[in-house]
């Protein structure tokens, strides 16, 4: 027995002394991933134009209704200014029952398209932690709204850690994993879950509100070296006329991407 222990010790010592393969870099921490997510917004091209096709499926007590549309999307940023966007829906195919709501449907589609650029900003409102690591260089970030975490800390005498980021993240993780159903609050999303890649691009984002979840899935394509939207799917619900809240699935397919010098009105001084 002693001989075996000595032999294993010797083998371990020799293995440590021998030059081996370079060790893989450590996985990124939550701060690094957040920096990449927020940095991805700044890496967006100064000017982008694309065509899109939209399909909106609404489920109501009256049945399933599908509206389709096509249009163009443009985003641009002048030096020192925030990103601007323009959505133009050029054609809509609306079933007879939905025609009185055609204007609302156009607004709904436009708002969902424009809202994709601001998706990462919601992370600022939450105490964010690293929930999981996925194959292929993907990570899952999650978070609980900051005011909910603060109220919990105050309730249990942890006010002294209110500005302690690691403590807040640890408490947010505990709340997320142990008492998720008790976190429902009105207002903005009370918790979120996001799948991000090594560049900080968000591929899957779920925001939970007191009225229900909003899930967004994004596929990217590289154009001129920049990742841009290829397909965006938003699964949500909305207050729809006199029908009350109905569930809706919006699928957007983008094509004919143009980066920079695309002739977008207003993109250049």
Residues near 202 by beta carbon (within 8 Å), at least 6 away in sequence: 37, 40, 119, 120, 194, 195, 196, 216, 218
Q: What pLDDT score was predicted for residue 11?
A: 32
Phi, psi of 162 (to 5 degrees): -60, -30
Instruction: Express each pLDDT in 17-43 by its tens digit.
Output: 444 444 556 778 899 999 999 876 666
Q: From residue 219, how far is each of 14, 112, 126, 203, 231 by CA, in Å? A: 47, 16, 25, 7, 5
Residues near 132 by beta carbon (within 8 Å), at least 6 away in sequence: 139, 140
Average pLDDT over residues 167-191: 95
Q: What pLDDT score was predicted for residue 43?
A: 63
Per DSSP, the three-state class of 3 is: helix
Percent pLDDT > 90 in the chain is: 52
Helices 146-155, 165-178: crossing angle, 10 deg rounding: 90
Instruction: Express each pLDDT in 42-93 by its tens digit.
Output: 666 778 999 999 999 988 877 899 999 999 999 888 777 778 888 999 999 9
Could you tell me which of 39, 38, 135, 49 has the C-alpha nearest to residue 86? 49
Question: With contact defined as beta carbons under 8 Å apart, do 175 and 183 qualify?
Answer: yes
Instruction: Express each pLDDT in 195-234 by its tens digit.
Output: 999 999 999 999 999 988 999 999 999 998 889 999 999 9
- Looking at per-residue confidence, does 115 or 157 come out higher? 157
**Alpha carbon 97 to its chain's center:** 33
Average pLDDT over residues 155-167: 91
Distance CA 244, CA 46 (A): 40
**Alpha carbon 208 to its chain's center:** 12
In this predicted structure, the answer to whether residue 99 has a pLDDT above a threshold of 70 is: yes
Residues near 220 by beta carbon (within 8 Å), at least 6 away in sequence: 201, 203, 227, 228, 229, 230
Average pLDDT over residues 170-175: 96
Could you tell me which of 112, 114, 46 has the C-alpha nearest to residue 269? 46
Is residue 241 very low, low, confident or very high in pLDDT (cuts 50, 70, 90)? low
């Amino acid at each position: 027995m002693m001989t075996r222990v000595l032999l294993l010790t010797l083998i371990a010592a020799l293995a440590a002394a021998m030059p081996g393969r370079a060790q893989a870099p450590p996985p990124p921490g939550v701060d690094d991933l957040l920096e990449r997510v927020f940095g991805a917004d700044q890496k967006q091209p100064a000017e982008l134009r694309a065509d899109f096709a939209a399909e909106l499926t609404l489920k109501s007590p009256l049945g399933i209704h599908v509206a389709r549309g096509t249009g163009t999307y443009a985003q641009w940023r002048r030096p020192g200014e925030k990103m601007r966007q323009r959505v133009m829906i050029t054609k809509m195919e609306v079933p007879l029952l939905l025609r009185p709501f055609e204007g609302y449907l156009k607004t709904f589609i436009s708002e969902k398209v424009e809202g994709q650029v601001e998706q990462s900003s919601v992370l600022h409102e939450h105490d964010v932690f690293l929930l999981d690591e996925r194959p292929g260089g993907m990570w899952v970030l999650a978070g609980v709204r900051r005011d909910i975490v603060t109220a919990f800390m105050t309730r249990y005498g942890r006010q002294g850690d209110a500005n302690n980021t690691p403590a807040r993240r640890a408490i947010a993780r505990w709340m997320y994993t142990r008492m998720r159903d008790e976190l429902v609050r009105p207002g903005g999303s009370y918790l979120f879950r996001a799948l991000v890649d090594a560049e900080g691009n968000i591929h899957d984002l779920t925001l939970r509100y007191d009225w229900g979840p909003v899930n967004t899935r994004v596929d990217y394509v590289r154009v001129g070296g920049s990742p841009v939207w290829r397909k965006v799917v938003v699964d949500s619900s909305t207050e729809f006329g006199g029908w009350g809240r109905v569930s809706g699935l919006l699928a957007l397919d983008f094509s004919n991407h143009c980066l920079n010098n695309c002739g977008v009105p207003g993109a250049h001084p």
